[in-house]
Amino acid sequence: MRDTFEYAVLRVVPRVERGEALNAGVLVYCRQRDYLGSRVHLDVDRLHALDPTADAGAIERALQAAADVCRAAPGAGAAGREALGSRFRWLTAPRSTVIQPGPVHTGLTEDPDADADRLLRLLVLPVEG
């Protein structure tokens, strides 16, 4: 049986004033399966192509913080203690920071965890040629 799921791409915008972005993660939420997951991957070479002065370590920590909220890690704060849907909405709310969520899209899934892996490969990881 296939259920509806929602997903959004996490984008790194190292210089907000320039508006250039690098896909660095995906958030996946499936209410029917009680699932909220994320996958993150920062391509440091691509990041430095956009901004040679970008602090890759700080950006990786920010991406990990989003992943921690998804999995309700002990250090995720109040957002990490919210219900799954509330956490997804909090993570996908528009921001003007270095880590920005893209628009929310929908799909059908039999395995949201496998779809998180698929979306990471499709939307974030470098294209293999």
- pTM for the model stands at 0.94
> Is pLDDT at 2 greater than 80 in this prediction?
yes
> What integer is the mean pLDDT of 50-57?
96
> Is pLDDT at 73 greater than 80 in this prediction?
yes
**In the structure, what pLDDT confidence band is assigned to residue 76 with cuts at 50, 70 and 90?**
confident
The domain segmentation of the chain, as residue ranges, is 3-123
DSSP of 10-44, one letter per residue? EEE-SSTTTT--EEEEEEEEETTTTEEEEEE---H
